[in-house]
Amino acid sequence: MGHTITAKTPGVFYRKPSPDAEPYVADGATVAEGDVIGLIEVMKTYREVKADAAGTVATWHVDDEDEVSIGQELVELDT
């Protein structure tokens, strides 16, 4: 069974804390509820995107530095 994590705010989505860093969550990694999976930048303010369920990363629906809107699917977890 799957669970989709969506954007709670519009902005630019980042999978990494900085351009030269590793992603918060690798493809196929297991996350716990509350783990940071990325950031959304809105007007130079960064908001953490946290997993709202536990599971394994199955599919990313956005790439690093993609613009996202409220409710847009970010990642699908296998729960």
Q: Which amino acid is at 57?
A: V
pTM (2 d.p.): 0.92
18: left (phi > 0), else alpha (psi -120 to 50), else beta? beta
Two tokens at 41? Answer: 């930048």
Provide the pLDDT for residue 1: 65
Read off the pLDDT of residues 34-45 as tens digits, 9 standing for 90 and up.
999 999 999 999
Q: Which two tokens stand for residue 5?
A: 């994590």
Nearest Cα to Cα of residue 34 among 5, 64, 60: 5
70, pLDDT greater than 80:
yes
pLDDT for position 59: 95
What value does the mean pLDDT take over residues 20-30? 95
Give the C-alpha separation, 76 to 18, whole Å: 23
CB 27 within 8 A of CB 58: no
Mean residue pLDDT of the chain comes to 96
